[in-house]
Amino acid sequence: MTVLDEKDRALLRLMVQDASLGAGALGRKVGLSQPAAWRRVRRLQEAGIVAGRRLRLDAAGLGFGVTVFLGVKLAAKGPVGLEDFERAVRAIPEVQTVEHVLGLYDYRLRVVARDIADFERVLRRRIMTLPGAGQVEANVLLSEERRPGPL
């Protein structure tokens, strides 16, 4: 495992806020030369710690006013069931994230929709018809806060 020092953590904190910063700008903020910052960023990428970038969009401004988290229980379990379900659920454009979990539900889905009526359409036509889908629980997202984590 890659051991991180304080400079690495400072770089990560900056990159989580703004991934478009170049090595020069990152270096200036943490007190490193451009090449030194570049080498550290590359090491963090190669170690898989920086797994990629994500574009931050204003979902509401783009007309997606509703986010719903669904807990989905499979009606029957088995390796074939999992694969079929995962392949089908991954292909639904309104489904933003899919996590396989252990507990009350088998899968946790993040679904985005224009409004509640649009969500109902997604739920009925896309989710309820998924192969193997059993009981579904829905919770409508009211607020969300992402924390920096232990950096």
Alpha-carbon distance of 125 to 141, in angstroms, equals 21
- Of residues 6-65, those binding other proteins (CB under 8 A): 12, 15-20, 47-59, 61-62, 64
User: What are the two backbone dihedrals, phi and then psi, of residue 116, each rounded to the nearest 5 degrees?
Assistant: -65, -35
The rounded distance, in Å, linking the Cα atoms of 51 and 58 is 22
Q: By CB under 8 A, is residue 103 in contact with other proteins?
A: yes
Q: 42-45 — which CB contacts under 8 Å span 24+ positions?
A: 43/2, 44/2, 44/8, 44/11, 44/12
Asked if 108 interacts with other proteins (CB under 8 A), we say yes
Q: Is residue 135 close enough to count as binding other proteins by CB under 8 A?
A: no
Q: CB–CB of 14/21 below 8 Å?
A: yes
- Contact with other proteins (CB under 8 A) among 86, 121, 131, 136: 86
Measured from the CB atom, the residue of 36 and 82 that comes closer to other proteins is 82
Is 143 near other proteins (CB under 8 A)?
Answer: yes
Does 79 sit near other proteins (CB under 8 A)?
A: no
Q: Give the Cα separation of 1 and 93 in Å (integer).
A: 35
By CB under 8 A, name the binding residues for other proteins: 1-2, 4, 12, 15-20, 47-59, 61-62, 64, 69, 71, 86, 89-90, 93-105, 107-108, 110, 112, 137-147, 149-151
